[in-house]
A and B are shown apart, each in its own frame.
Chain A
């Protein structure tokens, strides 16, 4: 009888090691040692160890961030309907471990097509068009990717991360440059978050009388009144820095968000805005942008006003347009560009297309499915509305495609995860084009359909920039969990780790862990290094009162949680050898990444 190594026979283990070593270009002996080591909870920096909180309360005043104790997992029994047996902690086996990005909102802060001046019209209506930390968004994503890589072994079981998923809003203002930057940070590369003039910031945070935080001298703006600091040199430092990212250590998958579909996530893009994006004029006041480039979306947008404004603008004499350095790379992308850019990605960390395939490009279908390992099938939806509005819906053809896919997954004994940008409280957009529309499915019907399939265990999404976890019971003792993560742009700038566990007692658990990015919790005055700027970004976001920062962190039932479910089928059909083979592949990929870093 052969000696077994965990779930595999020795012969199978050796053969598997040799194949993986060749596939990932890792020395066979080194990989063998990695794979032979038993899994144990990894000592990785997450919110289980330390949290970041907003500091001492002072009414209407800028607050620093501080650190707090870690948060243990809170078990949630909403779907199970009863308290689970504590003995499950002794029998857990990990089925899959994922990273979850959402609402990355990569920002080219100087783009003329950026709607940053619209807050002058209405801060609540145009919330999110501008943030004090806009120039530092690449720092946040690079730092989040460092945190994700540091946590590529599970803090609960030590299982290797299988993949990461990104549930949309990757490019903030639909710019190809933003799309390239976000993908570059996740795939790996070196970038300077600048467009236009080299080494010099040109934009609303420098110009007088714009509604923005002016770090050179905030004494005359609303942010200064609130206590936002004076940081001379910040803007030029932010657009001059070099940020290097090793990329993610695991494959990653992406779906569309409303910001990847419409300008600012709400308005169709017209030719005027496309020209503005690559030209040498940028609006310093909102009326010119609203009336001329945003289809008359101004409160005083009369025909006369729009006609005269158009005339002034076309003749290049509108005093409300500032001259900036033109940059053709700022072009606004088309829907298929989003897919083709993902298809242009490198093989490592992969997969090429990040979920999208050549078939998506050929047919224009904007959703996909993939098997993340031998146990899980994931469905990447496009819930964005191409007509108008931030919220979403599920088009009828996609709804039917998903229904058939879930049925097939159930037949194949696969556990299913649905990815989408929108969540259950934001799936009510009814806007349809004048011609060629199709039926739109909204939250109630969508949830009801998902609940027809017991193998459907998790709906992972974003959009609201709030940590939120919702149970969806099917009324028959089962159901699925909806898991919504906060964003990279608004406070708390957290993302998630998700681990799927077979408790071997008739229940399974999804462990959700919130993840802070790797920049220091407290910003040190004067630190304009890449890590320091990531830290400053979080602190500024925590004070951006328009976005209601304290709400976005969610409750304790939305953060570090154990989400229990009854098993949808007999999980003993999933063998230990099968899981071990899945994990060996992921461990090999992570080992290859680590080896590359050492070099």
Chain B
């Protein structure tokens, strides 16, 4: 049974629907929701420093990671130097946004591009000491994969 209050509201809604017929839809305001940025840069910076530590590289100047100004899918970490004067060079490329699905039958989680699919290359004195996912380095430093 529908209460009188609910019935009145339903009538109000129907009238409003008629009045609004033909109105164009308002666009999404999702774009206005700017969340905390910098996750890929931080991920890369942490993974870089962890790779250096894992390889017992003595760091004089840690390479400073930043997004490329010409290609938003690319990252570079210039300026790195070991205590013995060798250069440390890091580059990385974003993959697409990642969907991480819980098993079995869980809810998919979409991670922003570059958080779980950021492939990095770390070179010391021109020699590659790591090439692979940044997130893998971080996960392994904390007891293994997620």
Contacts and interface: CB of A to CB of B under 8 A. Distances in A.
A9 to B, nearest CB: 44
Contacts of A66: 143
Given A57-B145, A226-B102, A471-B62, A303 B23 contact: yes
Interface in B101-116: 102-107, 109-112, 115-116
Contact of A54 (B37, B41, B110, B142): B142
How many interface residues does chain B have, given as a range? 35 or more
B9 A317 contact: yes
A311 B9 contact: yes
Given A390-B34, A556-B53, A301 B28 contact: yes
Residue from A53, A315, A431, A463 having most chain B Cβ neighbours under 10 A: A315
A225 B36 contact: no
A91 interface: no
Contacts of A298: 28
A57 B25 CA distance: 48
B1 interface: no
B144 A388 contact: no
Contact of A60 (B24, B38, B53, B103): B103
A294 to B, nearest CB: 8
B20 A466 contact: no
Interface stretch (A191-199, A528-536, A543-551, A565-573): A543-551
B146 A550 contact: yes
B20 to A, nearest CB: 5
B41 A56 contact: no
A53 B138 CA distance: 13
Interface string A422-443: 0101101101000000000000
A354 interface: no
B51 to A, nearest CB: 9
A189 interface: no
A266 interface: yes
A391 B5 CA distance: 44
Q: Is the interface of A mostly helix, strand, loop or mixed?
A: loop
Nearest to A266: B33
B9 A225 contact: no
Given A60-B103, A557-B62, A308 B53 contact: no
A425 B44 CA distance: 13
Contacts of A551: 42-43, 46, 135, 138
B34 A388 contact: yes
A271 interface: no
Contacts of B135: 548, 551
Interface in B1-49: 5-6, 8-9, 12-13, 16-17, 20, 23-26, 28-30, 32-39, 41-43, 45-49
B59 to A, nearest CB: 7
A548 B6 CA distance: 45
A222 interface: yes
Contacts of A470: 64
Contact of B115 (A82, A225, A299, A548): A548
B83 interface: yes
What are the nearest 3 A-B pairs in CB distance? A57-B144, A425-B38, A555-B49
18 contacts: A59-B146, A60-B146, A66-B143, A77-B60, A296-B29, A303-B23, A304-B17, A306-B26, A308-B13, A311-B12, A315-B8, A317-B6, A389-B33, A391-B36, A464-B36, A550-B139, A551-B46, A557-B53
Interface of B: 5-6, 8-9, 12-13, 16-17, 20, 23-26, 28-30, 32-39, 41-43, 45-50, 53, 59-62, 64, 83, 100, 102-107, 109-112, 115-116, 135, 138-139, 141-146
Given A53-B142, A225-B103, A468-B42, 20 more contacts: A63-B143, A83-B83, A124-B109, A226-B102, A267-B32, A296-B29, A297-B32, A299-B30, A302-B25, A303-B24, A308-B13, A315-B6, A389-B33, A426-B36, A463-B36, A464-B36, A466-B46, A470-B64, A554-B46, A557-B62
